[in-house]
Amino acid sequence: MRAMHDKYGPVIRLSRTVLSVADKDMLKQVLVTLDLRKGTVYDNTQFGRANMFNMTDRTEHRHTRRVISPAFSIRYLAGLEPLLESVIDDMAEKVEGDICAAEAKGEDKAVIDLWHLTQAVALDAMGECAFGDTFGMIKNGSHPLPKLLTEGVRRGSIFFTNGFLGKLVKMSGIKVQDEYILSFMQDVIRKRLNASGSRKDILQILLDAHNSDKESERLDEGSIIGETMLFLFAGAETTSNSAAFALIALLTCPEKFDRLREEVDTLEYNDNGHFSYESLKSAAYLNAVINETLRLRPVTAAGVERIAEEDFLLGGKYHIPKGTTILANMYVAHMDPEYFDEPEAFKPERWLEGYEPAPALDAFHPFSAGSRNCIGKNFALQEIRLELATLVKKFDFEAIPESMKDAEDIRHFITLTIWKDSFKAKVSRRK
């Protein structure tokens, strides 16, 4: 991925009816002030029930978000901490076990695929916190879901970027959804619906909405399946990839790793023997590492599409006719030297208080912005914080040149990923 701002100005016409926007004030106008509706490209990924990612109908989205939002409130997420901590314990035990196995062979370091490890953590975290049980990815090392999810994202990107093909497939009635994933989710939901009692997790919020006495608060089974499938894809392809990209960046810059470790060593533990939520949330350098990773490797790297619902003036000088598609290009904004000095460099310190020149916070949109911003932002950030802090605290890492080279081959499907879908490093107990 290379900076493109030298080739793209604040507004560029991609076709007669499509504009790309990267100016921070224009991004705010499109995403927040006007809060333009999601574009037709999202319709092309609706091969089943629409979810909060691809809903284009404002009323439908507003209803679904209102029903689901309690599951992602700070207070509710705090109650999920023990579930998330159990997954992090499994992760640490898994790494320790791999190190023991390597030592039994006379080796002082274990070779671990960190890309797969972070994916396993994300899936098990969603299993514990959203579906009532772990998928066993960390302990067992295998499950049909990860491969199917990766294939699904790569397949879905074809329809996401090719509107005509998406419409053609929808008209033909060809089934695009993976039957295993759909059946798996249906079984999970129906078992919970028929179970006695309740469990404090994200799925319970959806099930409570399904059984609500108020029709305005209700979700049908199809909507629950759509949202839970979105949770799965988001957990496997966004949170996990972001955590892995952070580890890759830290291995590329050992001095940044050392500085992060110095801070992690000062963080407080809670009564369960894990890093406390408050200490992680206020850890300046840890959050700086995460922000810098999200700036360089944003989930929304291809931008987000919006559509003009009426004529308006963009940035006070561009007349935009009704029906024009606008691509809010966050990646280009993140790589603009006017907003971030040395934009291609991994510089977590830019996010620390007192750094000059200060980053343009209003040009930083890793979770989008406006009413369609990512509802799972707080959950994702806390998972990444806990995962990175635990790994840095307990283990030493050594880069493998071949893997570092492979990690440079970044591809974009619906999210950013490493083309090889693997990143290995040597791991040992912290000395």
Helix %, strand %, coil % of the chain (to 5): 55, 10, 35
Question: N- to C-terminal Cα distance for the chain?
Answer: 35
The sheet that has 395-399: what strands, in order across it? 110-113, 424-429, 395-399
Residue pair 425/111 in contact by the 8 Å Cβ criterion = yes
How many CB atoms within 10 Å of residue 398?
Answer: 12
Q: How many residues are there in the chain? A: 431
Burial (CB count <10 Å: 0-12, 13-18, 19+), residue 361 = exposed
DSSP string, 312-328: EEETTTEEE-TT-EEEE
* d(C-alpha 48, C-alpha 345), whole Å: 41
* Residue 193, helix vs strand vs coil: helix
Token pair 């280009």 is found at 332
Residue pair 232/185 in contact by the 8 Å Cβ criterion = yes
Smallest Cα–Cα separation from 51: which of 186, 231, 175? Answer: 231
Consecutive H or E run containing 412 = strand 410-412
Burial (CB count <10 Å: 0-12, 13-18, 19+), residue 224 = buried
Residue pair 315/299 in contact by the 8 Å Cβ criterion = no
Burial (CB count <10 Å: 0-12, 13-18, 19+), residue 158 = middle
Q: Which residues contact 110 (CB under 8 A, 6 or more apart)?
A: 95, 98, 99, 101, 102, 426, 427, 428
Residue 309: both structure tokens together:
């619902």
DSSP string, 262-302: HHHTTPPB-TTSSB-HHHHHT-HHHHHHHHHHHHHS-TTTT
List the beta bridge partners of residue 154. none
Known binding residue 374? Answer is yes
Q: Residues at the annotated binding site?
A: 374
* Residue list for the binding site for heme: 374
